[in-house]
Amino acid sequence: MKKIELYQFGQMRMEGKIHANDLIILPGKIIDNWRREKGHLLQLKDIEIVEKNITNYRYLIVGCGFNNRMKIHKEIFDWIQKNDIIFFYGNSNDIVKVYNETIERSKNLVALFHLTC
């Protein structure tokens, strides 16, 4: 997994490539143009690819937007606790730093980023 080189409102750069849509970062794969059913509400159904492969990950990192507008449904917190996942979430700018620090220690993570509001 590669570090995030740049994050600013609506854009993220990794490996020299600019992403301008929300994304999911998995080991060896980036899912660009990630959408949620209810836009600014993260629900369990929005992260099916993570849920199906949870035994492969120890960390879940969620950037909730430049202004922290994306909210996280309680079912996500319940699921995280049930699966004993180490979870970080918050303002996307701050969470980029957490992501970059975490990949130095472990490649066993998945990250979700809302890039705008």
Cut 0.85: pTM above it: yes
Res 7: pLDDT: 98
Res 107: pLDDT: 87
**Fold for the domain defined by 4-113:** Hypothetical Protein Mth938; Chain: A, (3.40.1230)
For residue 88, what are its two tokens? 């970080």
- 8 A C-beta contact, residue 41 and residue 70: yes
- 8 A C-beta contact, residue 105 and residue 55: no
Provide the β-strand partners of residue 113.
Answer: 23, 63
**With 0-12 CB in 10 A as exposed, 13-18 as middle and 19+ as buried, what is 83?**
middle
Res 115: pLDDT: 97
Per-residue pLDDT of the chain (117 residues; tens, 9 = 90+): 789 999 999 999 999 999 999 999 998 889 999 999 999 999 999 999 888 877 788 999 999 999 999 999 999 999 999 999 999 999 999 999 999 999 999 989 999 999 999
Distances (CA, A) of 90 to 28, 29, 107: 24, 23, 20
Res 116: pLDDT: 96
